[in-house]
Amino acid sequence: MKFIKSTKFIYFAFIWHGFFLALTVSMLELNTVFPALITTLTESKFVFGAIYSVMLGVPLIFNVVFGHYLRNKEYKKKYLLLGIYLRSGAFLGMALFTYYFSISNPMLTLASFFFFVFLFSVSAGFAGLSYSDIIAKSLSSEKRVHLYTIKQLFGSVSAFGGGLLIARIFNLGIEYPLNYTISLLIGSLGLVIASLGFILLPEPKSVIKENNEALLTFIKKIPSILKKDNSFKLFIIVENLAGFSIMILPFYMLYALEMFNIDNSFIGTYVIWLTVGTIISNIIWGFLASKFNAKQIVRICIIFGALNPLLAIYLGTTTPKLFAIIFFILGFMISGRKIGFEPYLLDIIPTKERIEYLGIRGSLNILIVILPLVGATIIYLFGFNVTFVIVSVMMGLAALLLGKISNKQIKELC
């Protein structure tokens, strides 16, 4: 059956994927559920930081390689689907190792997590480049921002349902490790269902620039590309500094566990508050997107990232229920990053070199690779409060740098 390449069908495919992807992510929510799972296996914050470095950094390290490989591919949907199915397999693997070995051999389970997180992250980088290219060539700039906002809204509703499901799983009294196993299995199935939105999606042919230069030759050209494209260079610097807010996200859950000695019931509660913040923020981001440019959304996200760690220090002296405010604000930050940064980038990079630029951008987000380990080290040496203050200072610097972009550059970026 042949489908018309209509905007409505394109919207449907991406929204379908976003809806079930959000449900999947809720099952292993990286800022609540996953940190709680890791703490059942080890108390070492270095191991925790190392796993997160793999999760965040691997896609970035390999992105320039993926970008080089995909740049001459006119159609990329099959690579997107491959990435999704590999991620589903990673969830399934973690579920099996959690169920069979988390109690009898937690170190083996941790070791398997490094492998499956690596697989999950590599496939995410591979799929992410294909995803961005397909959405960029299927829709105009204005429609892309509109789609990201709608997709984020549907995804937030799905994540809210996932939060309720997680809360139900942990409140039913299902014993460890079956509770985490069930959530991981649901995540694996959710990714397969999410892929159905793309199977029938008609993919436009990419505009490519035939180039057979070797990978090493391309890597050597990166400095000259950055020197030539100042807007792209500034974007990368700001995004690297903004990575400090990403570094601290999973540690909020560890902070709550340490400060309040809470039980598993609060995991679902915090997931729900995070998704409530995401849902409400989508309405606000949608309004701001219609009134302002993408740079303003990025600016607000950075400000939230600077203030939230300081608020966490204060709320850590109150009650676990009040600490839910932190996750409510995280919902705003996470949603805003997805709505602001990606459309912001797609507008500033040249069409024919889109995949290459996306790969360069990914691989040059180098701070995200080391920040989880840096965060774990600072927390070990100086505690959570000092770490939170450092994050606030670095986010403040990111806001200042963003403000130094000239009006001409703002026009280019937006």
Could you read off the pLDDT of 236-275 as tens digits, one per residue? 888 888 888 877 877 898 898 888 887 766 777 887 888 7
- Torsion 15-19-24-27 (CA) sign: positive
Q: Say what the pLDDT of residue 220 is.
A: 79
Give the pTM: 0.67
Say if 26 falls within a structural domain: yes
Number of Cα atoms under 13 Å in the Cβ half of residue 375: 33
Instruction: State mean pLDDT over 218-244.
Output: 80
Cβ neighbours of 172 (radius 10 Å): 10
Q: Say what the pLDDT of residue 1 is.
A: 36
Say if 2 falls within a structural domain: no
Say if 102 falls within a structural domain: yes
Q: Is 204 helix (H, G, I), strand (E, B) or coil?
A: coil
Say if 167 falls within a structural domain: yes
Q: Kindly report the CATH number assigned to the domain that includes residue 346.
A: 1.20.1250.20
Q: Is 209 helix (H, G, I), strand (E, B) or coil?
A: coil
Instruction: State mean pLDDT over 192-212.
Output: 80
Residue 127, domain extent: 7-413
How many folded domains does the chain comprise? Answer: 1
Instruction: Mark 92-124 as b/e (b = at least 16 C-beta within 10 Å).
Output: bbbbbbbbebbeeeeeebbebbeebbebbbbbb
Say if 1 falls within a structural domain: no
Residues 255 and 373: their CA atoms lie apart, in Å, by 16
